[in-house]
Structure 1
Amino acid sequence: MRASRAAALAALVLAAGTVLPSAATASAAEGPQVGVDSTWFPVSNYRILDTRVGNGAPSGKVGPDGVVKLDIRKILGLTSGATPTAVVMNVTAVGATDESFVTAYPDGGALPTVSNLNVSPAHQVTTNRVTVQVGTDGFVDLYNHVGNVHLVVDLQGFYTAKGANGYPGATFTLGTPARLLDTRTEVGGHPGKLTGGEDGVFQMDVSSVAPGGGDLVVQATVTEPTQPAHLTMYPALQAPWRTSDVNFDAGQTVTNLSYVYAGRDGLALYTNSGATHVVIDYIGQFQNHGLSGDAGTHGLFVPANPTRVLDTRKGLGAPQAKPGPGSTTRVKVTGLNGVPEGVAAVVINLTGTNADQDGHITALKAGDPVPGTSNLNYAARQDTAAMTIVPVSADGFIELYNPHGTVDLVADVQGYYTN
């Protein structure tokens, strides 16, 4: 259900947020919405914050311990009815002056000891997908730890309690992990780098996973770009959207989880400048239940309090040691902070840090064969984060496979999907 089909639910208008001087001054609200079975409502990528131009908040970088408050209810035009339980956003940091991190969390709740985005002056643009609970007052907060940084946020969709607004919404179905495109090879039909500009747009066939199109969840990776640019994915045969899915500097390898709508003619890939290799890995898709259908009980999203379940630097969730080449780290994700046994999948923010070389991590259901896909691509001696969705074994575990080098791993659970 795209925004045009959900117009009766939400008339999207831009709202202004407020920049607060410190986390301690955030408003005292009722807090997060935890444990609510929710369905998905996607919107066409919609920019709700850009501190470079005063869009959604006053113009200017967010300072140390600075918080930007986003009024999600107002942004979505929800003047009545239930408050969204969570939102999915693409959060971009631009022009960071210090090594820092950005945390998204529900207004009214305590600042959690997790991070969503790791930023550095070494890379002027850093992006990560974020799933975050919405406070009962309708606000989401973005916190910057140290230094100064611009924040840009593109809204991709929202969850509401099942049936809360009179519409069933969509539920998530895990797919078999599959590589749909790799321009370094023949996979996907585009051997060679994607070139910048509208003349370089590639129309990717997704019929193997979504005949007729649909709302897909994919892990998108760019590698070996010749210059700073961004990658945008949108329905084929449409004009390029004015938002981005992956932002990157020259020479970077960057992965980002993307919620994309593929039309009957497939998915278009556009980069605005230079040339870059692109890899697209399929994770799953949302099933639309129309305007009056029954969403059922499977594939519902349930927000959880952001919880760190793994930190190999501290021996949390695994031995206190860097996972080495060819290693598999087994992580318990259920039975912790409201995530019950028997869930289908968890939404996690996965971070690689203290790596001795560039590499990647594949996240999978514990006990399954390692697929030929990746969920996080990390760089040597840098903190690199990516959100992903990982299927969970019957006994509540996921596995993280590291094929090369040594790297510390950190994983934060944001929520889960019902079985």
Structure 2
Amino acid sequence: MRASRTAALAALVLAAGTVLPAAPSAVAAGNSQTGPASTWFSVSNYRILDTRVGNGAPSGKVGPDSVTRLDLRKWLGTNVVPTAVVMNVTAVDPTGDSFVTAFPDGQQVPTVSNLNFDPRRQVTTNRVTVQVGANGVVDLYNHVGSVHLVVDLQGFYTAKGTNGNYPGSTFVLGRPTRLLDTRTTIGDRQGKVGAGEQNAIAADVSSVLPADAGGSELVLQVTATEPTDASHVTVYPAGQSVWRTSDLNFAAGQTVTNLSYIDAGRGGLALYNNAGQVDLVVDYIGRFDYHYPGTASGDHGLFVPAAPTRVLDTRSGLGAPAGQAGPGSTVRVKVTGLGGVPENVTAVVLNLTGTNAADDGHITAYRSGDAIPSTSNLNYAGGKDTAAMTVVPVGADGCIELYNPHGSVDLVADVQGYYTG
């Protein structure tokens, strides 16, 4: 199921610092509600909320301690019952340091965050996976200040076998692999990407596609670093016209990361930079393999949405000893047995946040027991709360590991769901 693309945010970002909700010392009892095992359906990033123009909600900024309701049935139709959705959520022109929490309608606001922002950053974006309420509604809670919210729907999950004759797609976990780094010789493009370059970067993705001719949608961690100007980057299939959406929004000198789901074929992956010059990095995480109408999706790689649950907060000692992750350190986090996540899962979907760092740095998330891959899942900034959604493989012991190569930072992780083995 695909929908036409509509105009999406193409805006600038300024640097800043924000706040995070305080975490309890243990995972809250009752935060264990999970949905049914589900398959993935991609749409083409259409806008379901823009408070600047009154799309999806009344026109005007949302205020402090407010909840904005998104009725997915309005966009997907009453015959589609989503169990979870993937959205790009953007905060525009905030008046205060704040965060946004996405959660299923009908539940209390959980102690998690998905997006952190402040007035010095005009635009902040993060990918969000969130369980949908039984009534088809997702809520967005804004903590303090006033802010415009923009939401672009990227896809949805439905319970296996419930979307008519369409079985959907299932997730195939990959080995974390760097496909492109314009700062180095990795990939087929070296050097910064200039303003307005279109199809100049056609990153080769053939090594991570299935051998047969079946279609796949890649799950990629895309990073912009050392930009000369405030800009945005759009990720799209090579050979097509540039989509009117943005995957990354950044200021001059800022490093940002976001997860992208992209239907890139043998022609490769294109990345468009709007202004200035910037280095771009693409890391492969996994893919969704299509199952054609009338075929079975199987039992592997199904997504099970979970009530948003905090499993790590080094500020309070939740999930790991209290204290910042220092340079060269690894934090091991138990993710199974918490928030409804059982043992023997393939991977978890989580929101990873870095806070209270003095300097810029990055975090690599990987399966416990594995060698540290040469990839990154979060690029955090000194003096700012920085979040990025990611997908992390889970070890046989039910743990993931978070490696911090330099600097010191507090780490926060919120689980949104998991993939079956």
TM-score exceeds 0.5: yes
- Determine the structure 2 residue equivalent to 1:197: 196
1:143 counterpart (141, 152, 159): 141
Write the distance in 2 (CA, Å) between the matches of 1:325 and 1:12. 43
- Determine the structure 1 residue equivalent to 2:167: 168
Q: Contact 2:235–2:270 at 8 Å: present in 1 too?
A: yes
Q: Contact 1:312–1:410 at 8 Å: present in 2 too?
A: yes
Q: Contact 1:32–1:133 at 8 Å: present in 2 too?
A: no
Write the distance in 1 (CA, Å) between the matches of 2:185 and 2:282. 13
1:346 counterpart (325, 345, 348): 348
- Determine the structure 2 residue equivalent to 1:57: 57
Write the distance in 2 (CA, Å) between the matches of 1:326 and 1:13. 44
Runs of at least 5 residues in structure 1 that lack an aligned partner in the other structure:
5-10, 15-30
Q: Contact 1:357–1:405 at 8 Å: present in 2 too?
A: yes
Identity of aligned residues (%): 69
Matches within 5 A, 1:215-226: 215-226=217-228
Alignment RMSD, CA only? 1.9
- Determine the structure 1 residue equivalent to 2:309: 307
- Determine the structure 1 residue equivalent to 2:87: 89
Per-residue deviation, residues 214-267 of structure 1 (Å, max 9, x unmatched): 300000000111222111111111111111111111111000011111033111
- Determine the structure 2 residue equivalent to 1:98: 96
- SS of structure 2 residue aligned to 1:75: helix
Runs of at least 5 residues in structure 2 that lack an aligned partner in the other structure:
8-30
- Determine the structure 2 residue equivalent to 1:124: 122
Q: Contact 1:32–1:135 at 8 Å: present in 2 too?
A: no
1:231 aligns with 2:230: no
Amino acid at match of 1:51: T
What displacement does 1:33 show? 7.3
Per-residue deviation, residues 184-205 of structure 1 (Å, max 9, x unmatched): 1111121111112155742221
1:210 aligns with 2:209: yes
Per-residue deviation, residues 308-353 of structure 1 (Å, max 9, x unmatched): 0000000001011101001000000001121101100000100000
Q: Contact 1:125–1:249 at 8 Å: present in 2 too?
A: no
Compared CA separation, residues 33 and 47, structure 1 to 2 (3 A): farther
Compared CA separation, residues 32 and 242, structure 1 to 2 (3 A): farther
1:278 aligns with 2:276: no
- Determine the structure 2 residue equivalent to 1:19: none
Larger deviation: 103-112 or 196-205?
196-205
- SS of structure 2 residue aligned to 1:74: helix
Q: Contact 1:218–1:280 at 8 Å: present in 2 too?
A: yes
Write the distance in 1 (CA, Å) between the matches of 2:102 and 2:66. 12
Amino acid at match of 1:256: N
1:413 aligns with 2:415: yes
- SS of structure 1 residue aligned to 2:206: coil
Q: Contact 1:32–1:109 at 8 Å: present in 2 too?
A: no
- Determine the structure 1 residue equivalent to 2:381: 379
What displacement does 1:271 show? 1.5
- Determine the structure 2 residue equivalent to 1:35: 35
- SS of structure 1 residue aligned to 2:74: helix
Write the distance in 2 (CA, Å) between the matches of 1:377 and 1:321. 19
Amino acid at match of 1:396: G
Q: Contact 1:46–1:243 at 8 Å: present in 2 too?
A: no
Amino acid at match of 2:306: A
Per-residue deviation, residues 113-153 of structure 1 (Å, max 9, x unmatched): 10000111121111110000111111111111000111111
1:155 counterpart (149, 153, 156): 153
Higher relative contact order (CA 8 A, sep 6+): 2
Work out the number of aligned pairs and report it.
394
Write the distance in 1 (CA, Å) between the matches of 2:393 and 2:197. 36
- Determine the structure 1 residue equivalent to 2:321: 319
1:112 counterpart (105, 110, 113): 110
Amino acid at match of 1:390: V
Q: Contact 2:84–2:131 at 8 Å: present in 1 too?
A: yes
Compared CA separation, residues 220 and 36, structure 1 to 2 (3 A): same
Write the distance in 1 (CA, Å) between the matches of 2:178 and 2:93. 33
- SS of structure 2 residue aligned to 1:230: strand
